[in-house]
Amino acid sequence: MNLLMPWADPDDRVYSSPTSLLVKMRLGEAPDHAPALLDVHDCCHDPAHHLDRGPVDRILSRYAGAVRAARLHCAARGQHTRGHRHRGYDDVEQVTGVARTFFVKVPRGAPIARICDRLRQIAAVEAVTPNYMTAQNMDAEPGLERPRATNDATAWHPRNMVGAAEALEHEPGDPGILIGVIDSGLAQGHPELAGRVREGGFDTVKLHSTDVAPGVHLLGDYTENDPHPVDDFVGHGMGCAGIIAALGLNMPPGLAGQCRVLPMRALGAAKLPDKVLPVGLGALSDLDLAITLAVNLGAKVLNLSFGTSDAALAPNSPRPHQDAIRYAAARGCVIIVASGNSGREERFWPAAYPEVITVGAVDATGQPAAFSTRGNHVTLSAPGARILTTSLGSYQYATGTSFAAPFVAGAAALLVSRAARMSHPLDGQQARDILIRSCQPFPGGATHSGAGAGILDAAAALTTLDEMIVHSPGETGGQHVH
């Protein structure tokens, strides 16, 4: 769908909000008084009316009428203290930039591209970006299909392909290990997820009708941030969660075993003029906030089944999600990202960042799926065609790299569980190395450029982890696999 964006850079082909942008100040330049965005939304604070009392404020006042800003991310140590979420940022938050990033509100009609260009010329500003929007089940997303029956024998094939049964015999998963699913939220009360969803997730969706183009209709809850990440319309997050955590009542059990899902709703629901079904629609600010909140809430594995094409972004714009990804990696998270569904060799963000494990899709024969985005940044592949999983009210067959990534997220959660059981630290780079080393080859030993090292083998990954721990130096855990 082509949308006119007179406020945006003409080189940007990704829709962005006409009413907000993100500004990252340099180290030492961020004002201490500015509140956290969640506290502004909770009416604990007014937004900050100045950032530097200098050129930044003058530019915003000239083009937006006034300064209305808040810190996008909460401080980890202040996250649970309502009204004080901007207090106590630590060195990791400062260095990665999450402590220095501000959500800036502007009136509709403000020239956002011009504001970004002017602010980039200020020495105190490290980066400026429009508040891009991501849509799921849109354009190239292969989509969802309703099953005729949930006892279809072929539904077990993807699970068998990745050695799920053997993996779960080896390691059943630890209920204390959380997989943050940053997506459209979950339906309430689905029997397949009973006991497998951690209470205390969050809904970061904060959209207004002025944020979207004419003809786009927002659905359901899209204005309130709250601890209720409920999806009533889309089902994308439910598809991911079932592959990770289903009990196996009427579908194959989730690959993460007894590990639990931490649902983070960062994609709202919208009806687009050229789509029959609702899509998930998420602002860059909401997605990044959900990532850092999930980390601060204890998620050790993140599943990110969304992305933005590099080719659709203006050359001078920062690539989306960089600071949130760096923050999660610095906190020791294993970050799993879908490669994309363009069917071309190209980069999507956050899939192209070196800190993540990027997952392409294979079909039922084990060959790379035609829709799967390829590239040297793809780590490995997993089943992504007609995967039987949970839906909002029942079950669905889901297709796309969005649904290949959760297989790897489930395997990663088992690795984290196993390592914790053996008192061995495991970070994202080690998990990546293990998954690459343990991949099974593509059928016939073929090599497929841009499809990663091979196909996920969860059972072999656990065996590789055990061998690594046995052969690691005594008290120097955390050595990288070579």
All domains in the chain, ordered by first residue: 16-133 (3.30.70), 143-471 (3.40.50.200)
Residue 207: which of 221, 193, 195 has the closest Cα? 221
pLDDT at 478: 42
Q: Of 317, 342, 402, 438, which is the active-site residue?
A: 402
The SS3 assignment for 341 reads coil
402 assigned to active site: yes
Residue 481 pLDDT grade (very low, low, confident, very high; cuts 50, 70, 90): very low
8-state DSSP, 369? P
Check 45, 236, 321, 377 and give the catalytic one: 236
Mean pLDDT of the chain: 93
Q: What is the pLDDT of residue 144?
A: 63
Q: In this predicted structure, what is the pLDDT of residue 305?
A: 97
- Catalytic residue of the set 183, 221, 231, 288: 183
Does the pLDDT of residue 109 top 60, yes or no? yes
Candidates 429, 428, 423, 438; CA nearest to 469 is: 423
Closest alpha carbon to 35 in 101, 75, 76, 85? 85
Is residue 236 part of the annotated active site? The answer reads: yes
H helical segments located in 85-218:
91-96, 112-119, 157-161, 164-170
| pLDDT tens string 5-44 | 999 999 999 999 999 999 999 999 999 999 999 999 999 9
Residue 87: predicted pLDDT: 95
Does position 196 have pLDDT exceeding 80, yes or no? yes
Active site includes 183?
yes
Structure confidence at residue 474 as a pLDDT band (50, 70, 90): low
Average pLDDT over residues 385-412: 95
Which residue type occupies 133? M
Task: Tell me the per-residue pLDDT of 314-330, one tens digit each, with 9 for 90 and over.
Answer: 998 899 999 999 999 99
pLDDT of residue 473: 67
Is it the case that residue 80 has pLDDT exceeding 90?
no
Q: What is the mean pLDDT of residues 436-449?
A: 94
What is the mean pLDDT of the segment spanning 220-231?
94
- pLDDT of residue 209 exceeding 80, the answer is yes
Predicted pLDDT of residue 482:
34
How many whole angstroms separate alpha carbon 134 and alpha carbon 241?
20
Kindly give, in sequence order, each residue whose CB lies less than 8 Å from that of residue 433, ignoring residues fewer than 6 positions away. Answer: 480, 481
